[in-house]
Structure 1
Amino acid sequence: MKTLYGIEWKLFNRIKANYLFVVFVPLMILMAMRTVQDQLDIAKYGLNAGPLMVSTATGTLLIFTLYSSVTGLYVARREELVLKRLRTGEVSDAVILAGGASMYVTIAVVQIIVVTAVLSVMFGTAPQALPAALAGLVTGVALMTAMAAATASLCRTVESVMVATLPAIFILPMVSGVYIPREVLPDSLGEALLFAPLSSTVDLMRSGWTAELTVVAVLVRVALTVAWTALFTWIAIRKFRWEPRT
């Protein structure tokens, strides 16, 4: 794991443009979402801007920094025959995939910690239930990594990654409460969207600052995220390709 992390970090630093995508693009999207949420007049729905922005930031960074980047990483390393060569050694498949993704996991977690800390200061809010936020972060990282592996199994080439990740980039934030809080939607629709893949992570992160979820509600959301993670992991195990398609 340590060796794979070091290799990916060196490769990442060789292309300075990576910092533009991984650091500035998600923050620009976050600023745009702040404008959208201002127009929604969230106060009348009993929502606080600080915790809401924390959950928005977490969802945005998990999708753009972790999911899309790791999907592209898996496909690129497969096309370069790196994954095939690694499998000839003693390292297990799970360690190969986890080691490759570990660098982007680190970047995403650091980004989330820094951004949420800044947002807490900006909005004058402090975490009220950190275990809920920690549960959301850990399960969210696992979910996005498994989802990246499952998506990579559908991609023939690096060029196809952009198309394959479009549903998650554009649709997933809309249905999971990242861009638009589910509370502003009709009750039946909002309740149905609780079962979207990233909804539980968003709820857990927000509850970390508001403590609005009970212990049972936290466990339910953790279970939902684990279920989605298991599904994507199963897809990856069955469909993931370790060498280019001929």
Structure 2
Amino acid sequence: MRTDVLHAVRLARMDLKLLGRNTTAVFNVLLLPLLFAWMLSQGGSESFILTGMPGVLLAFAVFMNLVNSFTARREELVLKRLRGGQGSAVAIFGGAGLAALAVFVLQVALLVVWIDRTGGGLPENVPMMLVAAVLGVAVFGLLAAAFSGITPNAELAQVAVLPVLIVALVGSPLVIPLSEMPFAVRLVPTTPIVEMMRMGYGGGSWAAALPWIGALLAWLVVAGLLAKWLFRWDPRHG
């Protein structure tokens, strides 16, 4: 167990270094979603949009990032070498998740500074936001593993992630309050994170957050099953 943890940390550090050297990836994963946040907030309700934006950031910082990473490394036989060497599946997925969590936390920290500078204040229930972050990263990390399994190559990964990005932007209560949206929106995996982040920022109670935590745990099971079924360690042929 200790070996897996240490190896996961090493892999996470490697992932962050590689991300930092890739200008395009840094823009797509870190800066592009913040640009979206700025564009959306220009239409009004700035505080409402920005406090819910972390739920959408997961689709970029975790899902898009990891689909690209898993697919490219699978085709380059990196995953196979890691699995055949000292890395277990737990360490490999854990390292990818830790790196994605670090990027996501950085984005949320930038949002918090932004919100505070515009008069929105600081979050009142940070632990709730951290729980939403960890569960959200786990869900979208597993979904990324599943989608990478059905993505033929790294070039097509950019196309494969588009449906999820669109659903995250349009199908989440980011701009419109949840009470004014169809019930189906509650089934979108970004919705629990959007709502928990807002509740955490405004000092919401844990009792009110329990249904959303339950929804994320349900999505965690679904995403785990999809990843187990679809993820591939070996390159796709044909």
TM-score range, shorter chain: 0.7 to 0.9
Choose which of 6, 9, 31 in structure 2 pairs with 1:2.
9
Q: Does 1:54 align with 2:51?
A: yes
Cα separation, 2, equivalents of 1:124 and 1:240: 41
User: How far apart, CA to CA, are the structure 1 residues paired with 2:11 and 2:19?
Assistant: 12
Q: 1:124 to 1:163 in 2, by over 3 A?
A: closer
Partner of 2:34: 27
Matches of 2:50 and 2:170 in 1, distance apart? 15
Structure 1 unaligned spans of 5+: 43-48
Map residues 189-208 of structure 1 onto 2, 5 A cutoff.
Answer: 189=182, 191-208=183-200
- 8 Å Cα contact 1:22/1:65 also seen in 2: yes
Whether contact under 8 Å (1:130, 1:208) holds in the other structure is yes
In the aligned structure 1, how far is the partner of 2:208 from the partner of 2:135?
15
Question: Match of 1:45?
Answer: none
Instruction: Please give the alpha-carbon distance, in whole angstroms, between the structure 1 residues aligned to 2:125 and 2:60.
Output: 26
Q: TM-score, normalised by structure 1?
A: 0.85
Pairing 1:66–2:62 present: yes
The residue identity in structure 1 corresponding to 2:126 is L
2: CA distance, partners of 1:100 / 1:210: 31
**Overall identity of the aligned pairs, in %:** 28
Once the 2 structures are TM-superposed, how far is the Cα of residue 51 of structure 1 from its aligned partner?
Answer: 4.5
Alignment counterpart, residue 222 of structure 1, candidates 188, 204, 213: 213
- CA–CA distance in structure 1, aligned partners of residues 18 and 126 of structure 2: 34
Asked whether the equivalents of residues 139 and 216 of structure 2 are also in contact (C-alpha less than 8 Å), the reply is: yes
Q: 2:235 aligns to what?
A: 244
Q: Deviations over 1:76-115 (max 9, x none)?
A: 1101100011111242212112213432321121111221
Equivalenced residues, count: 230
Structure 2: gaps spanning 5 or more residues: 1-7
Q: Which residue of 2 aligns with 1:13?
A: 20
Q: In the alignment, residue 166 of structure 2 is paired with which amino acid?
A: F
- Equivalence for 2:5: none
Alignment counterpart, residue 141 of structure 2, candidates 133, 141, 145: 145
Contact 2:52 / 2:174 at 8 angstroms: preserved in 1?
A: yes
The alignment partner of 2:104 has SS state of helix
Deviation at 1:223, TM superposition (A): 1.0
Q: Kindly tell me: are residues 160 and 88 of structure 1, through their superposed partners in 2, closer, same or farther at Cα, counting changes over 3 Å?
A: same
| Structure 2 counterpart of 1:147, one-letter code | L
Q: 1: CA distance between counterparts of 2:20 and 2:126?
A: 33
Contact 2:139 2:219 in 1 (8 A): yes
Please identify, of 15-24 and 195-204, the stretch whose mean Cα deviation from structure 2 is larger. Answer: 15-24
